[in-house]
Amino acid sequence: MSGNILVVDDEIDILNLIKIILTKKGYQVITASTLNEFYQMIDVNLRLILLDDVMPVKNGIEICRDLKKHPETAQIPVIIFSASGSIGKKEAALEAGAEEFLVKPFSIEKLTSIVNKHYPLNSRLIDNN
Amino acid sequence: MRVLNVELPLDESFLKMEIGLSETTRAVLDYVQDYQEKHLYVLLNEESNFEINIQEYISLCETDEEKQIGNEIALLYSQLALSGFEIIDFQDKQNEALFDLRDRVFDITNLLKYFSEHYVNRNQTSPYDKENMHAIIEFTVIVGELHAGVEGVIAKHTPHEVPDFNYYSPKLESAYSSYKDVIGTISERTYLNQIYSNMKELFIMSEELIQKEDLLREKLEEFEYNREQIDLKLENQIKKIVNKKKELAAQEVLASSRLTLNTSIIDSIFSFMLMGGLLFGVNLWIITPILELEVGIQNFASGKLDEKIQVKTKDEIGKLANAFNNMTTQIEEKIETIMKNEQKLEELNIDLGNEIQTRKEYEKEILRVARETEVDRLRSQFLSTITHELRTPLTSIKGYIEIIRAGWVGDVPAEMEETLDIIIRNTDRLSNLTSDLLDVQRIESGRLEVEIVPIDLIEVIEQSIREIKPFILEKEQILDVDIPDLPLMVLGDSTRISQVLMNLLTNASKFSEERTPITLEAKDINGEILVSVQDTGIGIKEGDHERVFKPLAMIDKPIYVKGTGLGLSISKGIIDLHNGKIWVESEGEWKGSTFFLKLPKIKVNDS
């Protein structure tokens, strides 16, 4: 099953929330709630990856680091979202290579604007054609 | 007594008498020693012999005087013999008394045995039960010791060594008195009393025995004295006779022995001189050095190591003295070294003590810091967990409500819109609360981080104004803004400064009544930016001006205002991190308040 945006979070509700929002906006979204699922879903054709920072086994920041290490996945933009708004967390996320850092709870508006920034809707239309 | 070989029957008499006297004494003393009957017969024999001999002597006497003395001797002797018999008799009686004593002890032992058996049976106890059988055991011990003592005396023939009953008497008394109150049956009482009275009699008997013994001693002394008198008398007589004969014989002998007498004197003188010389030599060469050696050793023993022995001779003693002196010198030096080392050791000890002290303090400090660090770590971990756990569900709630509100799950009638807005607002409120709590914690533990970058304060202010508008409008309040047109650059964290401004503005709105004005001003004064928010609300009471900035201050307010009271403390924390100042001026309750913010300005580079 191919998609354009991958969202990874162990909280199913949030996973779903983001999926609903982004799907409504016109994106195609795939989700992973465990590390194994993530490894199954990972694809070089992904256009955007959203990661929750707190997850069992490996957290978002570590996954981001891994993604950025591999040349095939390095250029996929990563957005890390977190319940912690601390500067330290933000810095860690950016250092790990994430393009954006989003603080929970976020509004629909905020989420869509950030996603749009890295994966403009227009280009999506081009993809799907 | 050297009797010259002069044939006289008198000599023989005297000899016989002397021997007889000696034998008489011997017999009496022997009897007192071993109580053997044969000594008695010896005494009897000697008595009769002496009488014969003295009569013989008297008959041989030439002068009346001599005869007189002879009679005296005879009388004295018969008296002596008589006293000898008395002594023997006395000794017999003593022996009897001793055996009586032994029998009495034996009786008591038996009584004690009966009593003990009786008591043990009645009380169902054991003879070895120390507590119950205490007195009986005490008695048994005393009686046993007495028995042994008495038997010993009998065996050794030493009646004066009977056990000291004074020693046993108090023990007996205490044992008896401790017991007599405990004894139960009549037969037991009887036994006990018999034992007790027997033991008392035993003591009396033994005392008598000892007294009699002393008496015997006296008698023996008297006997001895009398014997001596007779001896003297005999000797005198003999001497007189002998002298007479000596004079006669001496004259004869003297002539022939003169020479030998002289030479012996010369010999004596010569040998005396020799002896003297020898003694002197020994003293000088042997004794004196040895004495000095002794003194030296004594000095050494008493610690006077510096007084050396004066070596005068080269012989063995001299060598010994030298060796001794060397030894003392070496020992002296060694003692010095030891003392120095001891001192060093003491100093090291003190240093060590100090070192240990310091280390201990370090340890304490390290532990304290470690603990604090651990506590800190746990706290921040807790905070992260809490924030995550609170915010995650809030994210869901807010998100889904927004989805509904946006009409993506179905049409939303107007009333529902409002309801949903309320829900969203409240999730925001919760969200803000968690943020505030987190901020307060961070400020308290000094962990609040701010991103200090050059920012345009004017922009931040304008943003805040936009955000506060809905609140103001709700209460129909008016916001007057007086800010310069030019940028005001400061070093700060825009999010946080915004937070502070929002806090001041929302407070101004919350604590004022409807339709009242709120004034926001920003001024550039001498390189410092002064921002103020003024309201005409409930004001600050006297004394509360500083307290309002403390977390959860909960100042008494005339009206109920929702909020946790954390906002100002967070604002203060943020402004402190910016090296700025925040304070309030108010003339009192219901006189309104003006909150001031001061931040240092930075120069803008013209680029």
CA-based nearest distance A72→chain B, Å: 32
Q: Give the model confidence (pLDDT) of B443-497 as tens digits.
A: 887 878 888 889 999 999 999 999 899 888 888 999 999 998 888 889 999 989 9
Kindly determine whether residue A108 and residue B390, on different chains, have CB atoms separated by under 8 Å.
no
Across chain A, which has 129 residues, the per-10-residue mean pLDDT values are 79 92 91 92 90 88 92 92 86 92 89 90 57
Candidate from B392, B406, B442 with C-beta closest to A11: B392
Kindly determine whether residue A54 and residue B388, on different chains, have CB atoms separated by under 8 Å.
yes
CA-based nearest distance A17→chain B, Å: 6
Kindly determine whether residue A21 and residue B391, on different chains, have CB atoms separated by under 8 Å.
no
Kindly determine whether residue B399 and residue A54, on different chains, have CB atoms separated by under 8 Å.
no
Cα angle: B180, vertex B184, B190; to 5 degrees: 65
Quick one: closest CA in B to A111, which residue? B399
pLDDT for residue B6 = 44
Helix intervals (H) in A1-129:
12-25, 35-41, 60-69, 87-95, 108-118, 121-128
In whole angstroms, what is the distance from residue A57 CA to residue A84 CA?
A: 19
**Per-residue pLDDT at B303 exceeds 70:** yes
- Give the DSSP letter of residue B471: H
Does pTM top 0.95 for this prediction? no
Q: How is residue B263 written in tokens?
A: 């030479």
Q: Give the model confidence (pLDDT) of B562-580 as tens digits.
A: 777 788 999 999 999 999 9
pLDDT for residue B234 = 87
Reported ipTM: 0.84
pLDDT for residue A68 = 93
In whole angstroms, what is the distance from residue B410 CA to residue B167 CA?
A: 122
Quick one: closest CA in A to B424, which residue? A107
Quick one: closest CA in A to B396, which residue? A14
**Per-residue pLDDT at B522 exceeds 70:** yes
In whole angstroms, what is the distance from residue B398 CA to residue A25 CA?
A: 18
Q: Which residues from chain A sit within 8 angstroms of residue B406, using beta carbons? A: 108
pLDDT for residue B550 = 85
Q: How is residue A79 written in tokens?
A: 């957005």
Q: Which residues from chain B sit within 8 angstroms of residue A15, using beta carbons? A: none
Q: Which residues from chain B sit within 8 angstroms of residue A54, using beta carbons? A: 388
